[in-house]
């Protein structure tokens, strides 16, 4: 699985290519599909990171997020 930063860079290139508007329809669909897969992968990685970064503590009846310390 590609690293998060690599996914973001590839997504940016796909968006630039699609925004130029001179890409044939078939290639546009292929790029769009790749972009959706990369987007899903990035979203999952962000959700996992968020879960690792926040530790929820119950204090005074409230949930409080605290930074995760390695």
| 3-class secondary structure per residue, the chain | CCCHHHHHHHHHHHHHHHHHCCCCHHHHHHHHHHHHHHHHHHHHHHHHHHHHHEEEEEECCEEEEEECCC
Q: What is the pLDDT of residues 39-69, one digit of tens each?
A: 999 999 888 877 776 655 444 556 556 666 6
Q: Judge contact between 50 and 30, C-beta under 8 A.
A: no
CA-based nearest residue to 33, from 19, 21, 18: 18
pTM over 0.75: no
Q: Based on the structure, what is the number of domains in the chain?
A: 1
pLDDT above 60 for 13: yes
- Tell me the per-residue pLDDT of 16-34, one tens digit each, with 9 for 90 and over: 999 998 989 999 999 999 9
Q: Which domain holds residue 39?
A: 4-67
């Amino acid at each position: 699985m590609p690293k998060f930063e690599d996914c973001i860079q590839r997504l940016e290139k796909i968006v630039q290519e699609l925004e130029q508007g001179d890409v044939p329809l078939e290639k546009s669909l292929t790029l769009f599909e790749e972009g959706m897969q990369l987007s899903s992968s990035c979203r999952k990685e962000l959700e996992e990171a968020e879960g690792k970064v926040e530790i929820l503590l119950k204090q005074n009846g409230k949930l409080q997020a605290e930074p995760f310390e390695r």
